[in-house]
Structure 1
Amino acid sequence: MSHLRFAFRRLARARGFTVIAVLTLALGIGASTAIFSIVNGVLLQPLPFPEQGQLVWLRESMPVFGSEPLPVNAYHFRTWQERAQSFSHLTVVDGRTASISSTDRPELVGLISVSAGFFEVLGVPPVLGRTFVPEEENAGRNHVVVISDALWQRAFGRDPAVIGRTLALDREPHTIIGVLPASFRFPSARAQIGSGAPAHPDVFCPKVFAADELQERLGRHNYGAIGRLKAGVSPVLAEAELNRIAGQITAEAGKPDIVLRAVATPLHEAVVGRSRRGLMVLFAAVTSVLLIGCVNLMNFLLAQAERRQQESAVRQALGASRSRLVCAALTEAMLVALAGGALGVLLARVGLASLLRFAPADLPRAGDISIDAGVLGFALACTLATGLLFGFLPAWRLARSDPQQALSAGSRALASGRQSRRWSDLLVTTEVALSVVLLALAALLGGSFVRLLRAEQGFRAPTVISASLAIPYAGYPEPEARSAYFERIVAQLNAAPGITAAAVTNLLPLAGETWVDKAAAAGDPRPSEEKPNVNTRFVSSGYFEAMGLPLRAGRSFDARDRGRKVTIISEQLARLLWPDQDPVGRHVERNPGEEYEVIGVAADVRPSANRSPVPTVYRQQRDWPFLRMTVVARASGDAQSAAAALRAAIASVDPQVPVPPFRTMDDVLDASVATQRFQLLLVAVFATTALLLTMLGIYGVVAYAIARRRKELGIRMALGATPGSIRTLVLRHGMRPVAFGLGVGLVLTLAGGRVLESLLFETRPSDPALLAAVAGGLVLCALLACYVPGRQATRVDPFDALRAE
């Protein structure tokens, strides 16, 4: 208690230092706690399923289609169910949007189609009703649904009598057989099975495979799959068994030379793995800011310890032990740390909400992010650790002082001791090195982001608006009806004032890859695995005009192509198939005997903002009419001016089709770079904070050194030293640790380059121009931090300095 009372009195007298110290720690601990809450919710917390270690996400690998794992083939999944012994349950996952009519107007909801046993695999029982049985995977018996707690609340007011009621799903009546608990959140499967998978599904229904899908043995990889391993079976053993089955499948298909492999990844890793590196880099960045704050406070406390040496000597002379002095000094540091930690938790609560607003939409497990007991425990541990970190060295230095020397020296020392100066220089070097790493990281991410935005996307669509329409199978069971629906939408838009072009496509540029196929020049004798992979896009006439996608040769689709097998290919595919030749009029072969005449060559388009263009084939949308297509409309003015026309066209053609959210191509680009923008924003904030703290630390050390050397400076000026020589002396002493820190920081940045490579776009971690800019900027800031106290040093009056003693 005596230590506490003494510490409170000292902190109350040094109000300026106390406020600065508490705010510095609050910012560091608050930012660290907020970022840790994201890391904890996304990476560290287990999935909310019992025995989650037994859950694996299953994919397939076929080198013939590239190095990236593929979704699962329907036939392969059925074969796994029949032959695999490593799993207690296997379930398939397929996602899309659907319309429901339980409310006054149609509403779009996320729909997940699953095989029976899905909820048993995850270990999630319903709160009402039951889940699916195997018989409901058959056509005619599959009109049953399990709904989420959110939909139960929104559409049925949590009526317990909802079981047995009818839900119109895509205009077909479905019986509600179960309601899921409010705590159930199915992890997003977009990264595994494509952008069509909803992030927050509200409806689950049985999956019924089409007959032709179950005949396709080497292709049509469309589904996700989850397995629950039997007790004692590891993912490696399960993968080995699935690979044996894969060999049987290729042999039975008459293609024993085709390499087919299974990929079994722990479900938690499959969900969060893509976010791990970026989040850990952010956590390392915010930890560096906290360390820089601690280093600053340590420097300030070292200066205070030196000023308090006489007090310490008196206390030791009166019988105080060194341990008692250390305890007293640490109590003061801990009080500051606890105050900073408490304020930091409050800042973290406010800051976390802001962070999540800026977070990318595909951040996994965003619903699990909160400041819970574990995060509060981290904040407490962080608070205690920082208190010890910045408090122990000054306390130890204070207790190590020699009473006799301190009492005899008084305040007549010409300069601070060499040992004290070494400690201060070492701490400045440390915070400069950390700042260099953070500034370099921000500069590299910034340069990467600028290149990302400036990269040629292949199209020009500043006034284009789009809407992803999903029409129900019940209303449009025939391909001709689906094609006619979208043709009527396009015709309505083309007739609307202010619309210069309209079309439909199955996938927008920058929205990823889909329908990966093989393509070759007609008559190419090479085996399939040696032919190039291509993305297939189904588009209507007018698509290239609407999207501002230039044709390098040939023409676009038009009325004369109805019923003909024609295609438009990308420049990259043209170069692969017919280098230095005109491809127009030639034929592309998809399968042996399935040929398409090339009528045009389109500019290359990126599948996402941070990826290079891929070979692409464009086919007519009537070749394969989907239930879900994206309508695009180019306005003569602002993109939003086309919204009314698009809304009117949807309502006019079929008012029962829900109107989806509209997006401009700027929105699509923003979504494609959302992760990079989020990382850059946070790192830039952390780097700026680190730079300001570093400048404050350099200024504090130099200013204190000048105050301690006031008599020396007075003597120098009395002996004829000019103001310029005094400034040079101050700058030399102040910049020496900065130079060491700069060198260490650049070495650390270059050493950690491999960690950054996956986060950068067309930017090398060792980019000399960016690193030189960082070094130059930090040197200028350090010079400014040294110049201000250096200028004050030239104003020392020699007579006053000599009389001060």
Structure 2
Amino acid sequence: MGVLSTWSDLRFACRSLVKQRSFSLLSTGILAIGIAGMATVFSLFNGLYLRPFPVPNSDRLMDLNETAPKWGLDYTAIAFPDFHAWREHNKSFESMYAWTLWGANLSIDGKAERVNVLVATHDYFDVLGIQPVLGRRFTQEEDRPNGPSVVLLSYGLWKRMSGRNPAVLGQTLRLDDNSCTIIGVLPPEAGFPADIDALRPLAADPQQGKDSWYLSAIGRMREGVTVEQARDDLLRIHRSLAEGHPANEITSPTVCTLRQRYLGEYWQGLTILLGAVGLVLLIACCNVASIMLARGSHRGREIATRLALGATGWRIIRHILTESILLSAIGGVIGILLADVAITLITTQYRELMNIPRWMTFDMDIRCALFCLSIIGAATVLSGLIPGLHAARTKDFHGVLQSSGIRNAASGGGRRMLSAIVVGQVALALILLICAGLVLRALQKVQEIDPGFRPSGIVTYQISLPSGAYPDEARRTFFEQHLSRIRTLPGIAGAGLISVLPMSGQHDGQSFDAEGAPAKQPGEEDPIVLFHTT
């Protein structure tokens, strides 16, 4: 009986919704928009904060850096001697690797292209738990000064350059002015935490570069060790180096999760956006509930007739909830399709503009599917329960049958419930409007900030010259001639060169000793100046 009864409710609901197409289209459209917004933002949230990184046991991977509040720097990057000491003497990490990114001109078989090269220590493979899909990893001996010049290709570059031909092993290519032997190919997931085209050994000397802070690092923490314990462990090692390097009294190590380091700045904005689209979905459900209430009032005779024929209040509620399920399901399917289009647009059209790495994906997974099912269920209850309860509360069905549809539509109970829903919608809409106004005001204030230069009409680009082919004098000559040619182009009012773009978050720094300044105390470090060359 239960299955037959459910099937009967479903057939009746389908006939009812098909009969009233305008109501059905309006309701499904409203729900589709609300569900699409919620599903889109949750897909972004899921990709950023819930989905594991594409490496084994990524929850134990920590970002390592140095900080220097005295110099006004949250992150200074890491000097290789500091990293070497951390790696050799720590008790909190299974392994750690240091890395930096640089752009290079790749040349092979008469072809050339600009590529991103990850320069890392040999521990890279142990920390991330990956192995080459072809060839081998570089060894500790190759990760030393004056060691063999070797390179591993990314999976994408291997496919692009040779069509995944295994014969690339042993071939030689040039990265700027360095000839490198190809020894392997990285797996597709190796582009983490940054997109790369090739991997080379860092080959740094731990006895050199105490004042060269240019590296990032990632460590795999041992099981059972907390972030605070790991930080204290590195700080102990860092301070032990201060006798030979006073700057270590100014700088100190930082340890945090990779998600906090790379995605922490998006957390507040994304959670606010998730709350905003949640309110939009709630307003959409209130809209559908009010439409169903109004429709239910005009269906008073139909409901009264069913009650007079012996239908129970629960049967009326179940019938209206069945209609709500159908509307929510159809709206949910349309909303999920719209969300998929929006996510595809973000990841294809805006990936490069928003600097989204290739390993970060926002496609629908089981977590997104369960979330979409839950919001469809919530939409069903929110939009159908109140109209169902109101319809089932009809007591004087004899009076309803004797009255006109218009007078029944104006019944006191229906008006009060409809008014309450409208008041709720207005309140939610006001909250959204106030929040939107605050965001627009904040955006206006940001736009009113004077950056110290006129940003309109400015175009920037970068040029990197191989240091071997362009020593200092040749480099200076190249840029002077290049600048002269640019200044003669039509429409160019002025042109200039700079080492680091303003507001890029990057900096150059160097210690200095002022003439006539008091003599430094033993162990005191020279002050640091941050500068741009132009």
TM-score, normalised to structure 1's length? 0.60
Picking from 84, 93, 98, the partner of 1:92 is: 98
Residues 90, 331 of structure 1: CA spacing in aligned structure 2 closer, same or farther, 3 A cutoff?
Answer: same
Q: Does 1:320 align with 2:311?
A: yes
Q: Does 1:340 align with 2:334?
A: no
Partner residue, 2:221: 229
Q: Secondary structure, in 3 states, of the residue corresponding to 2:462?
A: strand
1:343 counterpart letter in structure 2: I
Q: Is the 8 A contact 2:137 2:183 kept in 1?
A: yes
Per-residue deviation at 1:45? 0.6
Per-residue deviation at 1:31? 2.2
Q: Secondary structure, in 3 states, of the residue corresponding to 2:343?
A: helix
Q: Which has the higher contact order (CA 8 A, sep 6+)?
A: 2
Per-residue deviation at 1:79? 0.8
Q: Does 1:271 align with 2:273?
A: no
1:95 counterpart letter in structure 2: L
Taking the TM superposition and a 5 Å limit, the aligned residue runs for 1:430-509 are 430-460=424-454, 462=456, 464-476=458-470, 478-493=471-486, 501-509=494-502
Structure 2 gap segments, 5+ residues each: 1-6
Per-residue deviation at 1:211? 6.9
Residues 461, 338 of structure 1: CA spacing in aligned structure 2 closer, same or farther, 3 A cutoff?
Answer: closer
Q: Is the 8 A contact 1:312 1:325 kept in 2?
A: yes
Q: Is the 8 A contact 1:98 1:111 kept in 2?
A: yes
Partner residue, 1:25: 31
Q: Is the 8 A contact 1:309 1:406 kept in 2?
A: no
Partner residue, 2:508: 515
Per-residue deviation at 1:538? 1.2
Backbone CA RMSD of aligned residues: 2.9
Mapped to 1, the partners of 2:449 and 2:23 lie a distance apart of 49
Q: Is the 8 A contact 2:156 2:188 kept in 1?
A: yes
Mapped to 2, the partners of 1:240 and 1:342 lie a distance apart of 51
Q: Does 1:112 align with 2:100?
A: no
Partner residue, 1:203: 198
Per-residue deviation at 1:358? 4.4
Partner residue, 1:421: 415
Mapped to 2, the partners of 1:364 and 1:274 lie a distance apart of 16
Mapped to 1, the partners of 2:520 and 2:389 lie a distance apart of 75
Taking the TM superposition and a 5 Å limit, the aligned residue runs for 1:603-642 are none
Partner residue, 1:83: 89
Q: Is the 8 A contact 2:65 2:255 kept in 1?
A: yes
1:420 counterpart letter in structure 2: G
Residues 499, 31 of structure 1: CA spacing in aligned structure 2 closer, same or farther, 3 A cutoff?
Answer: closer
Q: Secondary structure, in 3 states, of the residue corresponding to 2:192?
A: coil
Q: Is the 8 A contact 2:31 2:332 kept in 1?
A: yes
Partner residue, 2:144: 138
Taking the TM superposition and a 5 Å limit, the aligned residue runs for 1:137-176 are 137-176=143-182
Mapped to 2, the partners of 1:461 and 1:105 lie a distance apart of 37
1:447 counterpart letter in structure 2: R
Mapped to 2, the partners of 1:16 and 1:500 lie a distance apart of 59
Per-residue deviation at 1:378? 2.3
Residues 339, 414 of structure 1: CA spacing in aligned structure 2 closer, same or farther, 3 A cutoff?
Answer: closer
Q: Which moved more, 1:347-356 or 1:14-23?
A: 347-356
Q: Is the 8 A contact 1:313 1:401 kept in 2?
A: yes
Partner residue, 1:536: 531
1:176 counterpart letter in structure 2: I
Residues 434, 363 of structure 1: CA spacing in aligned structure 2 closer, same or farther, 3 A cutoff?
Answer: farther
Q: Secondary structure, in 3 states, of the residue corresponding to 1:240?
A: helix
For each residue in 1:157-192, what CA deviation from the matched residue of structure 2 results, as whole angstroms up to 9, or x when unmatched?
Answer: 11012211112111321111111122333123xxxx
Q: Secondary structure, in 3 states, of the residue corresponding to 1:394?
A: helix
Partner residue, 1:291: 282
Partner residue, 1:129: 135
Q: Secondary structure, in 3 states, of the residue corresponding to 1:469?
A: coil
Q: Secondary structure, in 3 states, of the residue corresponding to 1:58?
A: strand
Mapped to 2, the partners of 1:464 and 1:300 lie a distance apart of 52
Per-residue deviation at 1:266? 1.3
Residues 255, 42 of structure 1: CA spacing in aligned structure 2 closer, same or farther, 3 A cutoff?
Answer: closer
Mapped to 1, the partners of 2:136 and 2:88 lie a distance apart of 25
Picking from 293, 296, 300, the partner of 2:291 is: 300
Per-residue deviation at 1:104? 4.0
Per-residue deviation at 1:125? 1.2
Q: Is the 8 A contact 1:64 1:530 kept in 2?
A: no
Q: Is the 8 A contact 2:307 2:397 kept in 1?
A: no
Mapped to 1, the partners of 2:490 and 2:14 lie a distance apart of 74
Structure 1 gap segments, 5+ residues each: 189-199, 540-805
Q: Does 1:394 align with 2:400?
A: no
Q: Secondary structure, in 3 states, of the residue corresponding to 1:239?
A: helix
Mapped to 2, the partners of 1:527 and 1:339 lie a distance apart of 75
Residues 532, 433 of structure 1: CA spacing in aligned structure 2 closer, same or farther, 3 A cutoff?
Answer: farther
Percent identical pairs in the alignment equals 32
Q: Is the 8 A contact 1:187 1:365 kept in 2?
A: no
Per-residue deviation at 1:209? 2.4
Q: Is the 8 A contact 1:317 1:403 kept in 2?
A: no
